Amino acid sequence: MKKIAAVFMTLMILLGLSACGSNAKQKESGKSINNKATTQEKEIVKNEDNETNNILVAYFSATGTTKTLAGYAAEYLNADLYEIVPKQPYTDEDLAYYTGGRADKEQNDPSIRPAISGSVENMEKYDTILLGYPIWYGQAPRIISTFLESYDFSGKTILPFCTSHSSDIGSSDTDLHSLAANANWLKGKRFASDTSKEIIKKWLDSNELISNADSKVGVFDFKSHTVMLNSGYKMPIMGIGTYSLSDDECYNSVTALLKSGGRLIDTAYMYKNEAAVGRAIRDSDVKREEIFVITKIYPTQFSNPEAAIEEALEKLDIGYIDLMLLHHPGDGDVEAYKAMEKAVSEGKIHSIGLSNWYVEELKEFLPLINITPALVQNEIHPYYQENDVIPYIQNLGIVVQGWYPFGGRGHTAELLGDKVISKIAKAHSVSSAQVILRWNLQKGVVVIPGSSNPNHIKENLDLFGFELTNDEMKQINALNRNEKHDWY
Ligand SMILES: NC(=O)c1ccc[n+]([C@@H]2O[C@H](COP(=O)([O-])OP(=O)(O)OC[C@H]3O[C@@H](n4cnc5c(N)ncnc54)[C@H](OP(=O)(O)O)[C@@H]3O)[C@@H](O)[C@H]2O)c1
Ligand SMILES: Cc1cc2nc3c(=O)[nH]c(=O)nc-3n(C[C@H](O)[C@H](O)[C@H](O)COP(=O)(O)O)c2cc1C
């Protein structure tokens, strides 16, 4: 905080501004643009048509700047607007910088919780909350902490935004995560005081979760064959895994996948085929933004995760990485994860997650990081079902993906030839492979079967012309042997 504040202070001195000096102008703009939002008695302003939807724009604004932008967002989203009004309003004196005044004191003491006048009625009806605040010495004002601790945000999505004189959002948003730990926090954004309606619209449009508020995190959409991640990005629910595929095999398999309409590819540093994945993508006719690439960094890379991220970006050579995972727990995994968090803020990676993390590992790891993983990839097949782990992860708003769907090489004949699975396959006129993949999808598990056979690749995408009955799901569930096919 000291560093941000010092940079900010230097800028203010250079520009000859003070907090009080900028107030008048900001107050004017706040009033003229969003009259609705100025009423403090009625804190929630219903959208124009008096219809309500599931988005609330909640904001605190001491001098009107954040209020204006919150008004733009609420108007565009047709959302309700709630002003977080302090019981004791902030005077110009309270806001004056470095005077030891009220704002200074509050920001210097993380335990302070300024009281709020009024409250949000029916918070339970909102799925998504846009949370706006001004930056105060690099942080969100403490009244935002009061707000976050006043409600249960479990399962709700929070999208923070802030206004500032010059500072970026920094860690002001991620610092808030622990105050509503069970919410799905999206990456926040900072805006300048002269931000236009158009810029706010563009920002909201670019955030799929908000622009398509019907999409619920973690719920599979069997029409579009995608799932919304807690990061705000959509991911296909079926694709291909590239473990053990040589460079040429991998290139051909990814090419076959893209030709057959598949868009999800799983690779890793350890598979030594990231470059082939990238080459196949660049050589295809499919637009980059339609493709979703997962790669992983290996524990041997955790000592220099920044270099590992750069290496993956270079080898793939497809601009950005859609999702990067830590391949296994290991020494330095927290620091490696934090390096991925930084790469997210730099736009190099869209989403981040973990692989081979089970309940105990997650319990230990999650409190140590800022961005909730978007996905956890673990071994899952009919003989190793992880029935306790899957719901635990899903309840955290994290998508589950299964590796070794056919049991992995050396086990596929037994699994694909399993009597129960074969009988169900026959009943639907599909293959055993398709039954296993569909069983995963109906459990909410994303599938990435490995294959170097174009016919298999095509077949493995063809999962939506049949549905397993409850009884068939139960029959496959009963095959669980807790039989792990690899050590991790
Ligand atoms: N995170 C981790 O630690 C981890 C660990 C292991 C794997 N993974 C990921 O999970 C992916 C899947 O695992 P995997 O590839 O090792 O094993 P898998 O998907 O369980 O099995 C692959 C085997 O199944 C065969 N196969 C694929 N489709 C078939 C079909 N329709 N009919 C008959 N056989 C079919 C393949 O042969 P053909 O080539 O002949 O089709 C291949 O021999 C990996 O590729 C990797 O991306 C991650
Ligand atoms: C106490 C205080 C501290 C501030 N600290 C910062 C800061 O660290 N960096 C920055 O760029 N702006 C800082 N500002 C400026 C405000 O973030 C900026 O003017 C903001 O847009 C005000 O929003 P509001 O009008 O909604 O209150 C500070 C303002 C106040 C009053």
**In the prediction, which pLDDT does 395 show?**
85
- Within-domain flag for 112: yes
**In the prediction, which pLDDT does 210 show?**
62
Q: Which ligand is nearest to the CA of 450?
A: 1
**In the prediction, which pLDDT does 97 show?**
85
- Within-domain flag for 488: no
CA dihedral (270, 276, 277, 282) positive or negative: positive
Q: How far is CA 227 from the centre of its chain?
A: 12
- Residues 247, 346 within the same domain: yes
Q: What is the amino acid identity at position 326?
A: L
Task: Give the max Cα distance, the chain.
Answer: 79
- Within-domain flag for 264: yes
Is the beta carbon of 457 within 6 A of some atom in ligand 2?
no
Mutate which of 418, 453, 485 for ligand 1 pocket (most atoms within 8 A of beta carbon) = 453
- Residues 207, 235 within the same domain: no
- Residues 437, 293 within the same domain: yes
Q: Give the CA dihedral 93, 98, 103, 108, nearest 10 degrees.
A: -160
CA 442 to ligand 2 centroid distance, Å: 48
The domain in which residue 43 lies consists of 2-211
**In the prediction, which pLDDT does 76 show?**
84
- Residues 225, 207 within the same domain: no
Task: Pinpoint the alpha helices (H) of 225-325.
Answer: 247-259, 274-283, 305-316
Mutate which of 14, 25, 93, 137 for ligand 2 pocket (most atoms within 8 A of beta carbon) = 137
- Within-domain flag for 487: no
- Within-domain flag for 484: no
Is the beta carbon of 463 within 6 A of some atom in ligand 2?
no
- Residues 304, 189 within the same domain: no
pLDDT tens digits, one per residue of 81-108 = 999 999 999 999 999 988 999 999 999 9
pLDDT tens digits, one per residue of 107-137 = 999 999 999 999 998 898 898 999 999 999 9
- Residues 335, 445 within the same domain: yes
CA 408 to ligand 1 centroid distance, Å: 6
- Within-domain flag for 486: no
Number of domains in the chain: 2
- Residues 316, 204 within the same domain: no
Is the beta carbon of 144 within 6 A of some atom in ligand 2?
no
Whose CA is closest to atom 29 on ligand 2? 136
The mean pLDDT value for 421-437 works out to 98
Residue 462, pLDDT > 60, answer: yes
pLDDT tens digits, one per residue of 269-325 = 999 999 999 999 999 999 999 999 999 999 999 999 999 999 999 999 999 999 999
Atom of ligand 1 nearest to the CA of 405: 20
CA 263 to ligand 1 centroid distance, Å: 17
- Residues 132, 112 within the same domain: yes
Q: Which ligand is nearest to the CA of 299?
A: 1
pLDDT tens digits, one per residue of 387-423 = 989 999 998 889 999 999 999 999 999 999 999 999 9
**In the prediction, which pLDDT does 201 show?**
87
Report the CATH number at residue 153. Answer: 3.40.50.360
- Token pair, residue 151, equals 């409600």
Is the beta carbon of 385 within 6 A of some atom in ligand 2?
no
Q: What is the amino acid identity at position 55?
A: I
Number of C-beta neighbours around residue 423 at 10 A:
13
- Residues 230, 207 within the same domain: no
Is the beta carbon of 143 within 6 A of some atom in ligand 2?
no
* 69 phi, psi to nearest 5 deg: -70, -35
Return d(Cα 104, Cα 322) in angstroms, integer.
40
Atom of ligand 1 nearest to the CA of 450: 15
Last residue of a domain, one of 211, 233, 255: 211
Return d(Cα 72, Cα 36) in angstroms, integer.
11
- Within-domain flag for 483: no
**In the prediction, which pLDDT does 33 show?**
25
Active site residues: 271
- Residues 164, 291 within the same domain: no
**In the prediction, which pLDDT does 53 show?**
57
Return d(Cα 338, Cα 342) in angstroms, integer.
6
pLDDT tens digits, one per residue of 190-244 = 999 999 998 998 898 777 656 554 457 888 989 899 999 988 899 999 999 999 9
Q: Which ligand is nearest to the CA of 421?
A: 1
**Which DSSP symbol is given to 131?**
E
Residue 1, pLDDT > 80, answer: no
pLDDT tens digits, one per residue of 364-380 = 999 999 899 999 999 99
Distances (CA, A) of 449 to 270, 367, 421: 17, 32, 17
Contacts from 244-252 at CB under 8 Å and sequence distance 24+? 244/271, 244/409, 244/450, 245/271, 245/273, 245/276, 245/450, 245/452, 246/273, 247/272, 247/273, 247/275, 247/276, 248/276, 249/452, 250/276, 250/277, 250/280, 251/276, 251/279, 251/280, 252/280, 252/452, 252/454
Ligand 1 lining (C-beta closer than 6 Å): 241-243, 266, 327, 355-356, 377, 403-409, 412, 416, 431, 433, 448-453, 456, 459-460, 488
Whose CA is closest to atom 7 on ligand 2? 137
Across the strands, what pairs with 83?
59
Under 8 Å between Cβ of 433 and 406: yes
Is the beta carbon of 66 within 6 A of some atom in ligand 2?
yes
Is the beta carbon of 130 within 6 A of some atom in ligand 2?
no
CA dihedral (382, 386, 387, 392) positive or negative: negative
Contact partners, residue 452, CB within 8 Å, separation at least 6 = 245, 249, 252, 253
- Residues 120, 225 within the same domain: no
Look at the block and give the residue holding tokens 């989203």: 77
Under 8 Å between Cβ of 353 and 373: yes
- Within-domain flag for 22: yes
Is the beta carbon of 305 within 6 A of some atom in ligand 2?
no
Residue 16, pLDDT > 50, answer: no
Return d(Cα 476, Cα 469) in angstroms, integer.
11
Atom of ligand 2 nearest to the CA of 67: 26
Is the beta carbon of 172 within 6 A of some atom in ligand 2?
no
Last residue of a domain, one of 164, 186, 211: 211
Mutate which of 242, 403, 460 for ligand 1 pocket (most atoms within 8 A of beta carbon) = 403
Is the beta carbon of 398 within 6 A of some atom in ligand 2?
no
Task: Pinpoint the alpha helices (H) of 186-246.
Answer: 197-206, 208-211
**In the prediction, which pLDDT does 488 show?**
75
- Is 52 strand, coil or helix? coil
- Residues 349, 228 within the same domain: yes
Is the beta carbon of 137 within 6 A of some atom in ligand 2?
yes
CA 340 to ligand 2 centroid distance, Å: 29
Whose CA is closest to atom 27 on ligand 2? 62
Last residue of a domain, one of 191, 211, 231: 211
Is the beta carbon of 70 within 6 A of some atom in ligand 2?
no
Burial class (CB in 10 A: 0-12, 13-18, 19+), 161: buried
CA 407 to ligand 1 centroid distance, Å: 8
Q: Indicate the pLDDT class of residue 187, thresholds 50, 70 and 90.
A: confident
Report the CATH number at residue 465. Answer: 3.20.20.100
